[in-house]
A and B are shown apart, each in its own frame.
Chain A
């Protein structure tokens, strides 16, 4: 069953339906792989083998009776440990929450349970989804399967690392300033931050309520669409044109010909942008044009304005969540998380209101810029991830990204791999839609993925 490591959702579903494999066999194979390979990767904080095998056996029994729930039935997945699973701790990768026990499932866990998916376990993150890879927490930070010395991106680090290492067919992440798209970029997988409010955050520990999103991470675009579809309530699914669970976005195979694609190219220009990343991003834009889209540049405020606005909102809102713990127990936080969360104490109510005011302005200018475009594209990370041991470099590179603008605007944004650096690290690229335009994002991403043909390349240590 070693070949099951890199089966995606669609491949698992096909084999499960054809009875080529049972969910129990698949789940056992992945649990064994986690046991064997995750020791140095640290992508899982809490594997749940007994619970996973019980769910897999239930899925097998249901399918044997002809009660097939859809493409996720019997398919294993992992959830970032900021998402409640009844009876288990939601540690948020922090000593502060070590003894927590969730009293119920998060709504997305309930939806995935109803879809028949099998939870393998809970994955590592940056403490409370902020901070960075920290060595002073009760659990070690996840590492990047492409180079174990390197930051896997975050804060949904474990979800990205587990996918790239072939430990799970899909995973859940959350994204407040890029925390799904950053690990997707750094680990060479696909991460979707859907429209603000599309995926329920009930039972997900908050970081910054007006910027928080949850979404799926997968190894390919089609799988991502399937996973997202299962995470939506029926009303939202209908709103974004999502239909049958096995083919949730019926037009995503229609290609790019005839579409107009805007490019936020100023976001990835400048001396502080890695030349390999800029060149790869330009090449992806040319590929989109070659596939028949009309490409045009888009002008908006500087990236730094978006990032500073987002920083103030995130600090103010996360301080509101953590103030009591920080006052009484700040030494129990890790250094990075503690500092980032305490920074909000220095902001005034006026700072926060001004930032929300600016956010409305920026969201509006982005909407106006994209008027007439079917979607937009830009880079994801502007530099390659730093070595985890180099705390200064991690700090300097943490915000060098073009992801926060879409947390502010609430628009759907997906990161997919478009190539590799000379040193073998993945390069990501963002495709951005209009609000509720997930189907168009997937359509463009599927076309680009098909043209680039990067699938099948896996980290050498995790073949």
Chain B
């Protein structure tokens, strides 16, 4: 059985502990979720295998 997208959104928010949101908030969040889904890694992006490097953006001593 398919779940309507808006129900899925409400369910995901409820799973995160967010309930009782108004319809305008839900509409805004639906759009934000769509933008986040549009996020994609470009070709050639290396795998995330170096966690230590993730939180040290360019500010490295060897620069």
Contacts and interface: CB of A to CB of B under 8 A. Distances in A.
A210 B57 contact: yes
Contacts of A342: 13, 18, 21, 25, 29
B16 A345 contact: yes
Given A311-B35, A363-B57, A436-B63, A343 B18 contact: no
Interface residues of B, number: 35
A323 B17 contact: yes
Interface stretch (A250-258, A273-281, A407-415): A407-415
A357 B45 contact: yes
A236 to B, nearest CB: 10
A35 interface: no
A195 interface: yes
A402 interface: no
Given A357-B41, A357-B47, A410 B36 contact: no
A219 interface: no
Given A308-B39, A312-B39, A354 B48 contact: yes
B25 A358 contact: no
B42 A196 contact: no
B63 A435 contact: yes
Given A356-B48, A359-B54, A367-B63, A343 B16 contact: no
Contacts of A326: 17-18
A358 B12 contact: no
Interface in B6-33: 9, 12-13, 16-18, 20-21, 24-25, 28-29, 32-33
Given A323-B17, A357-B47, A435-B59, A308 B42 contact: no
B32 A363 contact: no
Interface string A419-462: 00000000000000011100000000000000000000000000
A343 B57 contact: no
A355 interface: yes
Q: Is the interface of A mostly helix, strand, loop or mixed?
A: helix
Contacts of B2: none
B32 A435 contact: no
A409 B57 CA distance: 5
B57 A345 contact: no
Contacts of A346: 9, 12-13, 16, 29, 32-33, 36
B46 A361 contact: yes
B62 to A, nearest CB: 10
A347 interface: yes
Query: Is the interface on chain A under 10, 10 to 19, 20 to 34, or 35 or more residues?
Result: 35 or more
A339 B28 contact: yes
Contacts of A210: 54-55, 57
B4 interface: no
Contacts of A359: 54, 57
A359 B20 CA distance: 34
Contact of B41 (A315, A335, A354, A434): A354
B18 to A, nearest CB: 6
Contacts of B13: 342, 345-346
B53 A360 contact: yes
Interface string A274-293: 00000000000000000000
A323 B18 CA distance: 9
A372 B51 CA distance: 29
Nearest to A194: B59
Contact of B16 (A309, A323, A354): A323
Given A327-B17, A436-B59, A308 B35 contact: yes
Across chains A and B, which 7 residue pairs bring their CB atoms closest together, nearest first?
A: A410-B57, A345-B16, A357-B48, A327-B17, A343-B32, A356-B54, A410-B58
22 contacts: A196-B58, A196-B59, A197-B59, A309-B39, A323-B16, A326-B17, A342-B13, A342-B21, A342-B25, A345-B12, A345-B16, A345-B18, A346-B16, A351-B36, A354-B48, A356-B48, A358-B45, A359-B54, A360-B57, A363-B57, A409-B57, A434-B58
Interface of A: 195-198, 210, 301, 305, 308-309, 311-312, 315, 323, 326-327, 330, 335, 338-340, 342-343, 345-347, 351, 353-361, 363, 366-367, 408-411, 434-436
